[in-house]
Structure 1
Amino acid sequence: MLTHEFVPYETRHRPGRAKPFQVRWRVGRQQHSKSYLLKAQADGRRAELMAAARRREQFDEETGLPVSELEALRKDAEPTWFDHARKYAEMKWRESSAKERSARADGLATLTPALVTDHRGTPSPKVLRRALSCWAFNFSEHLPEPPEPIAEALVWIGQKSLPISQLEDSDTIRNALKAISLKLDGGRAADNTIRRKYATFSNALNYGIEQRYFTANPLKFVDWTPPEIDSEIDWRYVPNPRQCRDLIEAARGLSARGRHLATFYGCINWAATRPAEAMNLRLPDFELPGTGWGLIVAPGSSPRVGSRWTDDGKSYEERGLKRRARGATRDIPIPPVFVRMVREHVEEFGLGEDGHLFRAAEGGLLTTKEYAAVWKEARKLVLPPQQVETPLADVPYSLRAACVSGWITAGVPPAEVARRAGHSVAVLYKFYAKVLDGRREQDNALIERFLTAEYGPE
């Protein structure tokens, strides 16, 4: 607590003590003292305190120091933005998924080069970005020693990083916001990227409040808003059911690899699994009756994120279903056509050594690069040249959007569609608003029929 109530006492002499001359004073209700070897030192210190009082400085009741000295001490002990950002990333590391770790490091690596005292001797932007994203904000036990250029870049940023208190300056904040809005080549970053990195910046500043560096998030005082994004799916580029079937069959006819992947694509198309969920499936996760509908009990996903971000050094991370507790499952009924496809797949290809239904050509977990490459070739066989140049069915994930929209169009209640797809009803309405809106007349007719039955015709 700061106060103007400062009361000095006479210097006390205590013979026989190692430091016999004691300066004494009171700030508010707190008594303070400091001992010195020489009387001149004690008199000098007392004079400094008296001078601060004459300047009408406030004193801190807890430490007994005038504000000017207190601020100097805090500045000397103050961390830099780089220190703070590393501490924040390390604090979040253990509780985060590998994908979250990578995204957070990318955001902090974009911000940090903009928050420096000057740019003299700055490393190459690419080297500095790599040093920050892959080493400074990575706390993996499997991280190798950085090569010399990386190590030099880390020393540079450690020396040049701004004190954390300077982030209360609006121009400093704007420099960081400009950095997250641009790519390394100077072009504008994608809106989704800007919003993601803005969230990382905001969370790191909130951690600064927790650490008592700020009383409020400095972003609140800057007139800047991250770009809005249209999260609704662009239905011009979602394949229709016939196109989905033709794309899967085209992949099957491409090669032995395509035959193997056809069932993987079918899993996304008929069960609306995310690719990482399909990659993680094993035979015990299926119920495959001889006739009729079957079932998938999806146990989790295996997103590929790179070995430097996982705890075990693998290039992928086995984790729970998206936005669900670890260990949670999701049962998805599957139609007879896909039941037959899975049974035929197992009969022809068997299972991987780890029991996974789908595997890479060289063994191990299926890779994004591998299934994306086959899909790219299938598009060329099925789509007219003018459509190949568009985003129509540009990635296998588009099969999921096609499946979910098909369920809605078929009349499955939105709550059940959301459950099978593995997200909330709110997310369903956010992404599939146009398809749901297309059912409005049908839904109105159902309500009108109910009202007529209850109250009679108007």
Structure 2
Amino acid sequence: MSARETTFDVRVWGVSKRTWESGASTYRVRWIVAGQTWHDSFKTRALADSFRSELLSLARQGEPFDVTTGQPISRLREEKASQSWYAHACSYVDMKWPHAAGKSRQGIAESLATVTPALLSSTKSRPAAATLRSVLYTWSFNARSRSAGPPPDELVRAERWISANTRPVADLADPAVLRPALDALALRMDGKPAAAATVSRKRAIFYNAVEYAVELGHLTGNPIASMKWRAPKVTEAVNPRVVINHGQARALLAAVRQLPSGDRLAAFFAVMYYAALRPGEAVDLRKEALSLPAKGWGELYLTTSAPSAGRSWSQSGTRREPRQLKHRGAEEVRIVPSPPELTALLREHLEEHGTTPDGRLFRGARGGPLSESLYGRIWATARTAALTPEEAASPLARRPYDLRHAAVSTWLNSGVPAPQVAAWAGHSVDVLLRVYAKCIAGQEHAARRRIEEALRDSLS
């Protein structure tokens, strides 16, 4: 963190009275720091005179003033020491909001709403836990809601209470304060243990929020780094039981076609199975991204995704908010091959259903972006129709996202080199092999044969 720019060039002016149309008066103190004018207003002259006297005294004693804020350095230290966790968490949300995706904003709010009730300075007159969570999740840690005005009437008291009753950020340096906050991340609302992946994600967000406190000078270091507390181990690998084979995939796509409105979505599910698109990428797939010959292999040129996070978490107030591809820059393109079967399906879809006015291949019931609820219902019905009762009761392709897992597993088991699969799927090689390690099957015999051949060659 860079050092603050300070100065001793300070002049303090007298107190001026201002009378408003309502008849009320305020008293303003004006002072100049390195040529920049600053002012502060008070309800009474006594308060204004006291503040002015403090500024004069500090300036005469040789106290440096901060050029950026106009405040004496000692006053800044006092403000930092008293910064509450709640105020800091709100400022952290405001800092992250403009550049975060809707899902990320939602995850930040959920994590902070989980940890904040564990950082209270008092429990006297505490509102109900559900009320506190409601105001924290829907208003305090939602920058768009907070900027639109005060919370709903039924949550005003809860917001005032939590604002006045959270510990100073500096208290996090005390292990006795920090450990209960970390422990809170490991529990669900009902008190039962949370999933390992959830705990890990929430801890990462909490760590980042505390790191921001270090950046702002509220803490000298991040105490979580030295805390001997470990989140439960996360299992990243895809469960092989969710991965369908090619025959099952064809049966599922055929079942989709037989459903009302299913013919419009067969190609939607197909791009996830044949080209490993994420649902948000498939929802935002546009005609301009397709390079489709009359038959044979084509290509998809992906540049955007529209994941669903809900209206409360998007900047525009819509359920989906188009943005760059996951883990990619705004202008980056991911090129994915389109096998002949997918090429034929996409050409058929374009001929029969065309596109939306802005070029999207898939649309909702009223022409807008395709919703999770719509394609989720169709997929659930197709599973029941295409799979045996035992298969339908298993995790096999339970979510449309599992079609992407099937695509990547097919590529890997076909012998496509991992770097190429990673490029097509939009993963790093490291993540690809960690996530799909258990889905690579049927290659052990070939691997042993290659080792035997190498050993024979070395003896000849």
TM-score normalized with structure 2 length: 0.79
Q: Deviations over 1:358-387 (max 9, x none)?
A: 010111100111111111111111222233
Correspondence for 1:134 = 138
Correspondence for 1:412 = 416
- Whole-angstrom distance in 1 between the partners of 2:206 and 2:275: 37
Are the equivalent residues in 2 in contact too, given 1:429–1:436 (CA < 8 A)?
Answer: no
- Among 159, 167, 170, which residue is 2:172 paired with? 167
Are the equivalent residues in 2 in contact too, given 1:300–1:321 (CA < 8 A)?
Answer: yes
Q: For 1:238-317, list aligned pairs within 5 A.
A: 238-255=243-260, 257-317=261-321
1:202 matched to 2:207? The reply is: yes
One-letter amino acid of the structure 2 residue matched with residue 115 of structure 1: L
SS at match of 1:366: coil
One-letter amino acid of the structure 2 residue matched with residue 303 of structure 1: P
Correspondence for 1:364 = 368
SS at match of 1:90: helix
Q: Deviations over 1:296-334 (max 9, x none)?
A: 111210011122222222221111111111111111111
Are the equivalent residues in 1 in contact too, given 2:280–2:305 (CA < 8 A)?
Answer: yes
One-letter amino acid of the structure 2 residue matched with residue 431 of structure 1: V
SS at match of 2:336: strand
Correspondence for 2:40 = none
One-letter amino acid of the structure 2 residue matched with residue 254 of structure 1: L
Correspondence for 1:213 = 218
1:81 matched to 2:89? The reply is: no
Q: Deviations over 1:374-426 (max 9, x none)?
A: 11111111222233222211101111111111111111111111111111111
Q: Do the aligned partners of residues 199 and 266 (structure 1) sit closer, same or farther apart at CA in structure 2, a change above 3 Å counting?
A: same
- Whole-angstrom distance in 2 between the partners of 1:76 and 1:384: 63
Q: Deviations over 1:126-159 (max 9, x none)?
A: 2221211221122227746421122221111001
Structure 2 residue ranges without an equivalent (≥5):
1-61, 65-73
SS at match of 1:161: coil
Correspondence for 1:186 = 191
SS at match of 2:304: coil
SS at match of 2:328: coil
What percent identity do the matched residue pairs reach? 38
- Alpha-carbon deviation of 1:214? 2.0
Are the equivalent residues in 1 in contact too, given 2:80–2:218 (CA < 8 A)?
Answer: no
1:332 matched to 2:325? The reply is: no
- Among 140, 156, 166, which residue is 2:161 paired with? 156
Correspondence for 2:125 = 121
1:98 matched to 2:89? The reply is: no
- Whole-angstrom distance in 2 between the partners of 1:213 and 1:290: 63
Correspondence for 1:53 = none
Q: Do the aligned partners of residues 307 and 449 (structure 1) sit closer, same or farther apart at CA in structure 2, a change above 3 Å counting?
A: same
Q: Do the aligned partners of residues 101 and 192 (structure 1) sit closer, same or farther apart at CA in structure 2, a change above 3 Å counting?
A: same
- Whole-angstrom distance in 2 between the partners of 1:435 and 1:228: 20
Are the equivalent residues in 1 in contact too, given 2:238–2:439 (CA < 8 A)?
Answer: no
- Alpha-carbon deviation of 1:212? 2.1
SS at match of 2:337: strand
The farther-off stretch of 77-86 and 106-115 is: 77-86
The farther-off stretch of 224-233 and 431-440 is: 431-440
- Alpha-carbon deviation of 1:123? 2.2
- Whole-angstrom distance in 1 between the partners of 2:284 and 2:356: 11
Q: For 1:218-233, list aligned pairs within 5 A.
A: 218-233=223-238
- Whole-angstrom distance in 2 between the partners of 1:252 and 1:145: 48
SS at match of 2:324: coil
- Alpha-carbon deviation of 1:353? 2.7
Correspondence for 1:384 = 388
Correspondence for 1:107 = 111
Are the equivalent residues in 1 in contact too, given 2:186–2:231 (CA < 8 A)?
Answer: no
- Alpha-carbon deviation of 1:437? 6.5
Larger radius of gyration: 1
Q: Do the aligned partners of residues 73 and 355 (structure 1) sit closer, same or farther apart at CA in structure 2, a change above 3 Å counting?
A: closer
Q: Do the aligned partners of residues 366 and 457 (structure 1) sit closer, same or farther apart at CA in structure 2, a change above 3 Å counting?
A: same
- Alpha-carbon deviation of 1:446? 4.0
- Provide the aligned C-alpha RMSD in A: 2.4
- Whole-angstrom distance in 2 between the partners of 1:326 and 1:76: 36
Are the equivalent residues in 1 in contact too, given 2:120–2:166 (CA < 8 A)?
Answer: yes
Are the equivalent residues in 1 in contact too, given 2:169–2:219 (CA < 8 A)?
Answer: no
Q: Deviations over 1:12-59 (max 9, x none)?
A: xxxxxxxxxxxxxxxxxxxxxxxxxxxxxxxxxxxxxxxxxxxxxxxx
Aligned residues: 390
Are the equivalent residues in 1 in contact too, given 2:83–2:218 (CA < 8 A)?
Answer: no
